Structures are given as structure tokens and as C-alpha cells.
Amino acid sequence: MIASANLIGGMNDNILPILQSMTGAANDADRALVLLVCPIRIMIQYQPFLERSCSERGFEAGSEYLTCFYAAMNQTRRNGELVNLALDQARQTLLLLTQNTGGDA
């Protein structure tokens, strides 16, 4: 199932709560937390929505994380694990943002 533009773009009651959290986040720390806890299936299903949300809010760390995340999902795994240094580094950046309680980073 692909996300409907009307469902997502209209910000109606049918939008998933985690996606509402992304669009309603007050700052980059809140947006980073959403990306770090969002279920993988939702991240894959709503890829355009998440990418657009980061881009429209100027959340470069989130955009970088998503780029690395989606690339990692398409690479060959080693012994059942994702080995992607760029994704690890982008994740660390988001983790640091979540520790910043002073607003946008």
C-alpha cells in the first residue's frame, strides 16, 4: 500500500500519529527522535513524506539520515547485519540532537 497524497498532504485525522509527530515537531531534536523511533516499515512506506518533511523544515541532519538509511536498506548485509558507516554516523548525529534541549540545532 502506497501513501495517498491526500491522506498525508492534507494533515487530516487519518495521518499516522508518528507522522503527525514529525510534522508537528517543535525543533530538530524532536524531529530527530521521531526518525530514530519510527518503525522501519513506516519509514519505507512513507519515504517521500519523511524526505519532504525534512526538506521543507530545513532539517539537513534528518535528510542525511534518511539518505543513508534508504541506501543501507538496499545494500547487501553481512552475516544478517547492516554494515553502513555512513548510516552509523548519521544516527549518531541524530542522537546528539536529541540530547540538545535548547531548541533547533
How confident is the model over 21-78, as pLDDT tens digits?
A: 999 999 999 999 999 999 999 999 999 999 999 999 999 999 999 999 999 999 998 8
Residue 44 lies inside a defined structural domain of this protein: yes
pLDDT value at residue 9 = 46
Helices (H), the chain: 5-9, 17-24, 28-37, 40-45, 47-56, 60-73, 85-98
Residue 34 lies inside a defined structural domain of this protein: yes
Residue 50 lies inside a defined structural domain of this protein: yes
Which grid cell sits at 104? 533547533
Averaged pLDDT for residues 4-33:
78
Residue 23 lies inside a defined structural domain of this protein: yes
pLDDT value at residue 36 = 97
Measure the CA–CA gap between 102 and 33, rounded to whole angstroms: 15
Residue 29 lies inside a defined structural domain of this protein: yes
Residue 62 lies inside a defined structural domain of this protein: yes
Residue 43 lies inside a defined structural domain of this protein: yes
pLDDT value at residue 81 = 85
Grid look-up 534528518 returns 62
Close Cβ partners of 40 (under 8 Å, ≥ 6 residues apart): 73
Q: How many domains does the chain have?
A: 1
The domain containing residue 47 runs over which residues?
5-98
Residue 104 lies inside a defined structural domain of this protein: no
Other Cβ atoms closer than 10 A to 31? 27
The model carries a pTM of 0.80
